Amino acid sequence: MEPANRRLIRPSLVEAKEQMNAANRRVAPKKIVPPEQTNAENFYYLKQMQAKTPMVFVLQDGETFEGIIEWYDKNCLKVHRDGQPNLLLYKLSIKYLYKVSG
């Protein structure tokens, strides 16, 4: 028996690229996960602290306070009030806050 003449069949480079591109088109693109923290809150607090903006703080129970944000951390705000004691407010206790108008 004579050995058969075997020839290696290899696809051309163009065919291989086309197959890879077709396979990539079938796979759905991965969604980009948004960042866990945008730092918008930190930026806002820093801006108000630097400008010493008078703010009104409305708490969950409806009580309101006026003052200037002196410092903040992950859980609290320190509010400076003229002629009254300073306050340390938990962020969770604040319903909303806004700048004093006028």
Residues 6+ apart with CB under 8 A from 98: 55, 56
Q: Is there a contact between 64 and 70 (Cβ–Cβ < 8 Å)?
A: no
Res 38: pLDDT? 84
Query: Residue 28: what are its φ and ψ, rounded to 5°?
Result: -70, 140
- Distance CA(27)–CA(14), nearest Å, equals 21
Q: pLDDT tens digits for 4-52?
A: 677 667 767 788 788 777 776 666 667 888 888 888 999 999 999 999 9
Q: pTM score, two decimals?
A: 0.63
Q: For residue 100, which of 68, 60, 78 has the smallest C-alpha distance? A: 68
Pair type for strands 87-90 and 94-99: unpaired
Q: What are the structural domains, with CATH classification, of the chain?
A: 40-99 (2.30.30.100)
Res 22: pLDDT? 76
Q: pLDDT tens digits for 44-84?
A: 999 999 999 999 999 999 999 999 999 999 999 999 999 99
Q: For residue 92, which of 76, 81, 78 has the smallest C-alpha distance? A: 76
